[in-house]
């Protein structure tokens, strides 16, 4: 009896956004204080997502991104110790020392944004020293242009042109965020994600806009284009997936 290979599913990566040592939710690139149903403690949130069977976490330090602050690094270290799954981290990593220190802390991958535009030599050195699989580049897109400086400045580059340049440098994966949809649960920008993935032939992690299960089905259809994972924040925090309650019951008492 003939069998067909099971289609691989999207990897869902919970997002933990940090400002002033607390979890925040991000709306169009602007962090806001988390609502009452969001735990304030990022370490607690990391443990919760691990208990709910997350295979990876995406952590963003907005104090680092906006002010080059290092005040949240102690919390990041506690998160690394609290869970045994990989953590990818971004926010304010604009020097070789900061990037090297991130790996020395035990972070699995770093997510770079501004330096891809402002300091390609630094990006190239990081790829050579740490390996392309350890370096992700985040394309924060608004009005078809890439934002830099903690999403506060608009560059002159289109996401496709930047993606093609990054491929030549050795980058293998991008995180693509439609900033206009970020945190509003308006659905992912399927057209943008498909365009970047098809043109660049790079692996793409989608970010921004996911509102529930139906959006995951839409993203699943982009697997052949190269979109194989998705970062989700608000929709997970606000229990927009019916299976979340089942996860909690099944995994209670098994927090790592």
Q: How many angstroms separate the Cα of 194 from the Cα of each of 23, 157, 176?
A: 30, 18, 10
The answer to whether residue 61 is catalytic is no
Count CB neighbours of 162 within 10 A.
Answer: 22
Choice among 17, 61, 178, 215 that is catalytic: 17
The answer to whether residue 63 is catalytic is no
Q: In whole angstroms, give the CA distance from residue 123 to residue 101.
A: 15
Q: How many angstroms separate the Cα of 219 from the Cα of each of 211, 227, 231, 235?
A: 12, 7, 11, 15
Q: In whole angstroms, give the CA distance from residue 19 to residue 65.
A: 10
Q: In whole angstroms, give the CA distance from residue 50 to residue 111.
A: 20
Alpha helices in the chain (DSSP H): 42-51, 62-67, 73-82, 96-105, 115-118, 120-130, 159-169, 190-200, 213-220, 234-237, 243-251
- Classified as helix, coil or strand, 237 is helix
Choice among 61, 63, 140, 178 that is catalytic: 140
Q: How many angstroms separate the Cα of 39 from the Cα of each of 25, 84, 94, 169?
A: 11, 20, 29, 39
Q: Which residues are catalytic?
A: 17, 140
């Amino acid at each position: 009896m003939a069998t067909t290979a099971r289609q691989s599913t999207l990897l869902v990566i919970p997002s933990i956004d940090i400002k002033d040592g607390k979890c925040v939710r991000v709306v169009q690139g602007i962090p806001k204080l988390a609502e009452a149903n969001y735990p304030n403690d990022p370490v607690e949130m990391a443990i919760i997502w691990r208990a709910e069977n997350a295979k990876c976490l995406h952590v963003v330090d907005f104090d680092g991104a906006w002010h080059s602050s290092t005040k949240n690094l102690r919390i990041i270290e506690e998160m690394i110790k609290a869970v045994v799954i990989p953590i990818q981290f971004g926010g304010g990593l604009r020097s070789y020392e900061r990037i090297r220190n991130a790996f020395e802390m035990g972070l699995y991958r770093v997510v770079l944004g501004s330096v891809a535009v402002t300091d390609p030599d630094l990006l190239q050195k990081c790829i050579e020293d740490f390996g392309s699989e350890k370096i992700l580049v985040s394309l924060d897109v608004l009005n078809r242009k890439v934002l830099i400086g903690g999403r506060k400045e608009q560059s002159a580059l289109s996401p496709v042109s930047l993606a093609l340049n990054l491929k030549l440098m050795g980058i293998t994966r991008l995180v693509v965020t439609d900033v206009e949809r970020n945190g509003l649960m308006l659905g992912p920008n399927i057209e943008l994600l498909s365009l970047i993935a098809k043109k660049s032939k790079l692996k793409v992690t989608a970010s921004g806009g996911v509102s529930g299960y139906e959006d995951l089905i839409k993203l699943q259809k982009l697997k052949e284009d190269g979109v194989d994972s998705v970062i989700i924040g608000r929709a997970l925090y606000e229990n927009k997936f019916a299976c979340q309650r089942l996860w909690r019951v099944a995994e209670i008492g098994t927090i790592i």
